[in-house]
Amino acid sequence: MVGIPQAEMVAFRRAPGAGTDADGQPLWIPAPEGGRSGGGQRTHAPSEDDVRFHRGLPPSKRTPGRPRVSAAVLGVFTGREIDELVEFFDANGYATLRGVFDESAVLDMEAELVGAQRRLVDATLDPRHATDILDEPSATIGGRPFAHYVCFATDASALADRAVHHQALVEVAQRLLGPTAWLLDYEQFGVVYQDARPDPGSGYSRIGWHTDHQSAPHLDIWPGVAFTIHFDPTSPANGFLRLVPRSHLGGTEGIPPGFERVPGEIALYAERGDVLFHHADLWHAAARGTADGQAAIRRHLRGSWYGGTKLAVGHGTDDFVKNALR
């Protein structure tokens, strides 16, 4: 049964925040009614195709499938379910890896990155970690200067560098892109620590519809897969990822220029420590949080792996296309 835990087979439970539409409403997922009889014995087991549909996987090649009403469901996997993660990713354009980092690892990495962010604002961190392309140099939070981005974060934090090279993350990247996949941590912006929060002086609280491929369509680095390590659970309060499942299988014709609602889009919520992978051709955007203050903070570490030609050292950012509205 494709490695699905027994409890999940019975209850068809989804992870918190997964399988919801853009308004936070749950997508339809088939579930057994009751499912158990007296004595705690299971009265029936869901079919393999029902299980695969619940996990967002295509129908089994061994059994005939039936039409499905949704292409985007759970999509959350553990380090022991890399095969299922890869299959889900290929079909939908995204997948979440959960349980790789424990709380102590997330806490220590978070502390190093917050410290680097503070040093950048205080001008005691090398200015190569700043960006006036992604960030707004005049950004303020609470009336004080603020840096939403710390570029080349893996050079500013040894723990961040260790995290992005975690065996599970490397395995996923190589499974998706091939054994020669390479991490862009040395050029352009490198791996970036991002801190989004709404404020009258904020320079980063949301991002409009785009694909990562649009930022450099002229380069031979593609295909690409982005990863995001989450430090804050996401929600309507602090913002969340909007995406269109399976949009990576087509082009960008019809992609909105701003923040419009797109038919078929879903809201994807993350837990602290989650690692989200998404395809470079996936349509996605980030919603602004509705809360204020601490409840509105959304922080993560983001980078990308590629399967094409490596960028030369010194390539720079002159040809970077800032294609997403802020």
pLDDT tens digits along 63-113:
344 333 333 348 999 999 999 999 999 999 999 999 999 999 999 999 999
Mean pLDDT value across residues 8-23: 39
Looking at the structure of the chain, the number of domains it has is 2
298 by Cβ neighbours in 10 Å (0-12 / 13-18 / 19+) ranks as: buried
Q: Which two tokens stand for residue 66?
A: 């039936």
Residue partners of 274: CB distance under 8 A and separation at least 6? 76, 96, 97, 98, 229, 230
CATH code of residue 147: 2.60.120.620
Calpha distance 322→139 (Å, rounded): 18
Average pLDDT, the chain: 82
Same domain, 69 and 153: no
pLDDT band at 135 (very low <50, low <70, confident <90, very high): confident
Same domain, 69 and 109: no
130 within 8 A of 120, measured Cβ to Cβ: yes
Same domain, 133 and 268: yes
- Write down the H helix ranges in the chain: 6-11, 48-54, 82-92, 103-121, 153-156, 158-164, 167-177
186 by Cβ neighbours in 10 Å (0-12 / 13-18 / 19+) ranks as: middle
Tell whether 323 is covered by a domain: no
Which domain-ending residue is among 74, 92, 119? 74
State the DSSP code for 124. Answer: -
Calpha distance 90→88 (Å, rounded): 6
- At 171, phi and psi to the nearest 5? -60, -45
Same domain, 128 and 16: no
Q: What angle do CA 229, 201, 192 make, to 5 degrees?
A: 25
Is the confidence at residue 7, as pLDDT, over 60?
no
Position with higher pLDDT, 66 vs 59:
59
Tell whether 238 is covered by a domain: yes
Lowest mean pLDDT across 71-80, 90-99, 163-172, 181-190 = 71-80
Helix-then-strand count for the chain, H and E = 7, 15
Same domain, 67 and 107: no
Q: Determine the structural domain holding residue 154 and report its residue range.
A: 103-306
Tell whether 184 is covered by a domain: yes
Tell whether 1 is covered by a domain: no
Tell whether 88 is covered by a domain: no
Position with higher pLDDT, 40 vs 295:
295
Same domain, 66 and 201: no
250 within 8 A of 262, measured Cβ to Cβ: no
Same domain, 279 and 200: yes
Same domain, 44 and 115: no
> Is the pTM value of this prediction over 0.85?
no
Lowest mean pLDDT across 62-71, 134-143, 199-208 = 62-71
